[in-house]
Amino acid sequence: MTSPVQDPARIARRRREHERQAVVFGVLIVLLVMTGLGALAVYTGAIEAPFARDFTSAQEKQAPVTPPCLPAVEGQPDGALPLPYDQVHVRIFNASQFNGVAGANQTVLSRRGFAVEGTANYSVTIPENELRFGTQGIVAAYTLAAHYPPMRMVLDTREDASVDLLVGDHYVRPYDEQDVEVSAETPLTNAPGCEPADEIEPSPVPTPAEESQPEDEEPQEAPAEG
């Protein structure tokens, strides 16, 4: 018997296919090796990763602040007593991404007798609740702060005794009224790490985002009194 005669064109075509496959696989292997070596170099710190940068949050953390200590009060050697609630004048700013949280706090504080002067949207979003007040409003701020879990207390440049409550993204509800540890006969307690007001550089007074516009009205999981 004789062997079948192979088609030279077919043989050449198969050879070219094998050559192309060898080239493709060779390139893939080289790329995999280079990628692995590059990853190893970045992992070990031998080179810096391209486009490397620190992870950042969409919302900057609030800078640490030093709260002011309570002022000495003549005739009250044990410290300043809390003010009657109707003498604490407070504005409430929504400094969060949620609608209605300032209005919800207004409802609670008004019910308890605080003189709430109104609500507004703040110009930026902040993470945590904070109180802002001037040197004349330190006792008022401490009186209001007793109704909340510990929050930032920021001394600013205002000259009156008003207090601003800024409700941040991670807002916390006011204490239930029966859990508020303040009474007219018991002196207030200084915040941890406080310093005399005259040793603190005051911050600017906060301003609403829109002076003439009240806070958005639709609440979204707003704080409520228990």
Query: Between these two residues, 224 and 68, which has the higher pLDDT value?
Result: 68
pLDDT band for position 28 (50/70/90)?
A: confident
CA 100 to the chain's CA centroid: 18
Is a pLDDT exceeding 70 seen at residue 29? Answer: yes
Angle at 16 between CA 13 and CA 21, to 5 degrees: 125
Please, which residues have CB within 8 angstroms of residue 155's CB and are 6 or more apart in sequence?
67, 68, 132, 133, 134, 135, 138, 197, 200, 202, 203
How confident is the model at residue 10, as a pLDDT? 65
Q: What is the 3-class SS of 191-225, one letter each residue?
A: CCCCECHHHCCCECCCCECCCCCCCCCCCCCCCCC
Among the listed ranges 3-7, 11-15, 52-56, 77-81, which one has the minimum average pLDDT value? 52-56
Q: Locate 62 and state its tokens.
A: 């609030």
Percent of all residues in the chain with a pLDDT value above 90, rounded to a whole number: 54
So where are the chain's domains?
Answer: 12-50, 59-226
Q: How many CB atoms are closer than 10 A to CB 91?
A: 19
CB contact at 8 A, 136 and 63: no
pLDDT tens by residue, 116-132: 999 999 989 999 999 99
Helices (H) and strands (E) in the chain, counts: 3, 5
pLDDT tens by residue, 36-69: 676 655 445 555 444 343 333 334 457 789 999 9
CA-closest candidate to residue 215, choices 142, 163, 165, 145: 165
Phi, psi of 164 (to 5 degrees): -110, 130
pTM higher than 0.85 for the full model? no
Query: Between these two residues, 143 and 24, which has the higher pLDDT value?
Result: 143
CB contact at 8 A, 128 and 200: no
Q: How many CB atoms are closer than 10 A to CB 103?
A: 19
